[in-house]
Structure 1
Amino acid sequence: MDTLNIFKALSNDARLQILEWLKDPRAHFGPQVGPKGSIDLVDEGVCVSQITEKLNMTQSTVSQYLSILQRAGLVHATRIGKWTYYRRNEEEIKRIGSFIYKEL
C-alpha cells in the first residue's frame, strides 16, 4: 500500500466526492448504455461522462482526478469500446480504514 499517494488522492474534495458517489452508484447516476447494451453501474462502473456532468467540471480535469484515484488503488477502470468506466476498489478502501484504525 502506497500510503502517501493514497492520502494525497484523498486530499481533494472532488476526488472524495467521486468516491462517495461510487460507493452507491445507482443512487447517484442514471442508467448507462454501452456498445453492447446496458452497462451495470456496480459491476462495470460509471462512465467518465456521467461523473464529469455531475461534478460540472471539464472532462480533462475529471479524467485527471480519476487517474490519481486509480494510481492510488482506490478505483478500478474498465474499458468498454471507446469509453472508460470506474468503480471503487472496496478491498483497498477497507485496507486503508484498517490502517488508519491500527496505525494512526
Structure 2
Amino acid sequence: MEPLLIYKALSNETRQQILMWLKNPEIYFDEEPYLQQGISFQVGVCVGEIQLKTGMAQSVISSYLLTMKKAGLLESKRIGKWTYYRRNEKTIKEFADYVQTKL
C-alpha cells in the first residue's frame, strides 16, 4: 500500500464519488443488464456505466479509474471488450487502519 498514491486518488471529488458508488453499486446502477449477461456486480461495474453516471468524457473517467487502480483502491476485470471495476476492500481497509494508527 502506497499512502501517497491513495491520498492523490482521493483528492478528486469525482474519484471519491466513484468509490462511493462502487461500495453499493446496486443502489447506483441497474443490475439487470449484468444479470442478463450472466454476471453480477461482484465482477464490477462497466467503465461505460460509470462514465454515463458522471457525465464526463470516457477518456477522463478511464484516467480516473487508472489512477485509483494504481493506488490499489480498485481492481479490474476484462470480459470480452468491456472492463469492469470494483473496490479493492483489502487496500481500503489497510489504508483506513493506517490513517487510524499512524496519523
Which stretch shifts more, 88-97 or 25-34?
25-34
Letter in 2 for 1:86: Y
Q: Does 1:90 align with 2:97?
A: no
Letter in 1 for 2:60: T
Equivalent residue for 2:4?
4
Equivalent residue for 2:79?
80
Deviation at 1:3, TM superposition (A): 1.0
Name the structure with the higher strand share: 1
TM-score, scaled to structure 1: 0.93
Equivalent residue for 1:13?
13
- Give the distance between the partners of 2:58 and 2:75, measured in 1 at CA: 18
TM-score, scaled to structure 2: 0.94
Letter in 1 for 2:46: C
Deviation at 1:39, TM superposition (A): 2.4
Q: Which has the higher contact order (CA 8 A, sep 6+)?
A: 2
Q: Does 1:100 align with 2:87?
A: no
- Give the distance between the partners of 2:39 and 2:59, measured in 1 at CA: 23
Letter in 2 for 1:84: T
Deviation at 1:5, TM superposition (A): 0.7
Structure 2: which 5+ runs fail to align? none
Name the structure with the higher helix share: 2
Provide the aligned length of Structure 1 versus Structure 2. Answer: 102
Q: Does 1:44 align with 2:43?
A: yes
Deviation at 1:81, TM superposition (A): 0.2
Task: Render the CA deviation track for 1:19-39: whole Å, top value 9, x for unaligned.
Answer: 0000000011012348x8232
Equivalent residue for 1:29?
29
- Give the distance between the partners of 2:52 and 2:15, measured in 1 at CA: 14
Equivalent residue for 2:53?
54
SS of corresponding position for 1:17: helix
